[in-house]
């Protein structure tokens, strides 16, 4: 296992029609990793989005560099499970974070996942949903979870999982328990998409997007 300082996190980010969210989610990820000092790469797996998500991804690659942003598109929509398998083939990190580009999670929780992993030497660290008052949301299949996996553990689980789409994430945890993998949990709050009811701070988003649009217009 790599020494503490040598850990690298690969974020798998499957996208389909996320051109509005992608610049923001990538910016937040980059900022989070830079602030926490964790080595990282972001692997964007676009499934042939007709809305120009891939073009935005190419701009982001130019801005942040091809060592940090890896574009691994696919010709058409082939589903979440296979997107992760495809992305993982290209991942060079010893830890893999699976998250969604729709901004239902704030990347700021990732350093907590990494700390938790170290603390208990866990195979998997999963975000547990809590309401602000400490109550727990029920399992909602539409809610995609954010998770950190040891790369080799994720590979094993991928071989075993048969379901596609949302259920796939549930199956991963069921199988992880069957196989005796250790799972740590981090309480996180979920955001119901950033636009509208934002928990990120509206001004931050607006000023960021303005700046970004200027950048895209001039590059």
- b/e burial code for range 8-22 (CB count within 10 A of at least 16 → b): bbbbbbbbbbbbbbb
Tell me how many degrees the CA angle 94-200-185 measures, rounded to the nearest 5: 40
Bridge partners, residue 69, by sequence: 42
Backbone angles phi, psi at 47, to 5 degrees: -90, 60
pLDDT by residue, tens only, the chain of 219 residues: 444 457 999 999 999 999 999 999 999 999 999 999 999 999 999 999 999 999 999 999 999 999 999 999 999 988 877 888 899 999 999 999 988 888 777 788 899 999 999 999 999 998 876 544 444 444 444 456 678 999 999 999 988 877 766 677 778 888 899 999 999 988 877 655 444 444 445 555 566 666 666 665 654
Residue 190: the pLDDT is 61
Residue 217: the pLDDT is 60
Specify the pTM: 0.81
For the packed helices 53-64 and 22-36, what is the interaxial angle rounded to 10 degrees?
30
CA–CA distance, 190 with 199 (Å, rounded to integer): 9
Domains of the chain in start order, with CATH, are 7-193 (3.90.550.10)
Name residues whose C-beta falls within 8 Å of residue 29's C-beta, 6 or more positions apart in sequence: 11, 40, 42, 107, 110
């Amino acid at each position: 296992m790599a020494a503490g300082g040598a850990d690298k996190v690969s974020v798998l980010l499957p996208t389909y029609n996320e051109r509005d969210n992608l610049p923001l989610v990538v910016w937040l990820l980059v900022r989070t990793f830079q602030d926490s000092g964790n080595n990282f790469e972001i692997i964007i797996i676009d499934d042939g989005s007709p809305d120009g998500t891939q073009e935005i991804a190419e701009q982001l690659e130019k801005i942040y560099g091809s060592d940090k942003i890896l574009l691994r598109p696919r010709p058409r929509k082939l589903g979440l499970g296979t997107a992760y398998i495809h992305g993982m083939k290209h991942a060079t990190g010893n830890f893999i974070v699976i998250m969604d580009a729709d901004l239902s999670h704030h990347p700021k929780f990732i350093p907590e996942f990494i700390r938790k992993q170290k603390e208990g030497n866990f195979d998997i660290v999963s975000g547990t949903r809590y309401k602000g008052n400490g109550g727990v949301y029920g399992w909602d299949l539409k809610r995609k979870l954010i998770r950190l996996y040891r790369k080799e553990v994720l590979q094993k689980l991928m071989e075993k999982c048969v379901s596609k789409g949302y259920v796939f994430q549930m199956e991963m945890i069921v199988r992880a328990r069957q196989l005796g993998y250790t799972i740590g949990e981090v309480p996180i709050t979920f955001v119901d998409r950033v636009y509208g009811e934002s928990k990120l701070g509206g001004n931050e988003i607006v000023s960021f997007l303005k700046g970004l649009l200027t950048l895209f217009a001039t590059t």
